[in-house]
């Protein structure tokens, strides 16, 4: 198994102490001792402001705005999540490797990417 040298590990730990990391919802460690009673308390606990959820300039904001669009069209949120996964886990890697496989495959990969993008954004 790969192991870091002791000097490298100590250097990384020293740098980590100097630079606190921003809050990350998925890497927060132990759960809080008190469960939040409201969405506002949850957002405050993890340092997320509601405006971040509606900012179209961020991936986080677009994710929530697209769900609102799905709701307005009476479409299932699970459908949005499915197309989000397909777009990000299949279409993006596909356009990364497609040029290695030839121009025809590359064109098809970009068509698939655009199709999944339209599905995510509830355009089709």
- Residue 26 belongs to a domain: no
Q: pLDDT value at position 30?
A: 52
Digit-coded pLDDT (tens) for 20-34: 545 544 445 555 566
- Residue 77 belongs to a domain: yes
- Residue 54 belongs to a domain: no
Q: How many domains does the chain have?
A: 1
**Parent domain of 101:** 59-124
pLDDT at 8 over 70: no
Q: pLDDT value at position 116?
A: 95
Digit-coded pLDDT (tens) for 53-98: 677 777 888 888 888 888 889 989 899 999 999 999 999 999 999 9
- Residue 45 belongs to a domain: no
Q: pLDDT value at position 96?
A: 93
Digit-coded pLDDT (tens) for 38-60: 767 766 776 666 566 677 777 88
- Residue 16 belongs to a domain: no
Give, as one character, the DSSP assignment of residue 32: P
- Residue 89 belongs to a domain: yes
- Residue 78 belongs to a domain: yes
Residue 38 backbone zone (phi > 0: left; psi -120 to 50: alpha; other: beta): beta
Place of tokens 């199709």: 115
- Cα-Cα-Cα-Cα dihedral of 106, 108, 113, 119, to 10°? 180
Angle between helices 77-86 and 103-120 (to 10 degrees): 160
Separation between Cα atoms, residue 91 and residue 26, nearest integer Å: 24
Place of tokens 């740098």: 15
- Residue 69 belongs to a domain: yes
Higher pLDDT, 4 or 99: 99
């Amino acid at each position: 198994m790969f192991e870091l040298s002791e000097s490298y590990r100590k250097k990384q730990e020293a740098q980590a102490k100097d630079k606190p990391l921003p809050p990350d919802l998925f890497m927060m460690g132990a759960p809080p001792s008190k469960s939040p009673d409201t969405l506002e308390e949850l957002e405050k606990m993890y340092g997320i402001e509601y405006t971040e959820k509606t900012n179209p300039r961020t991936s986080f904001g677009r994710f929530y705005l697209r769900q609102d669009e799905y709701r307005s069209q009476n479409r299932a949120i699970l459908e949005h999540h499915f197309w989000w996964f397909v777009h990000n886990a299949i279409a993006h890697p596909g356009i990364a490797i497609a040029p290695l496989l030839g121009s025809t495959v590359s064109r098809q990969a970009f068509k698939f990417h655009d199709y999944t993008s339209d599905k995510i954004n509830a355009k089709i």
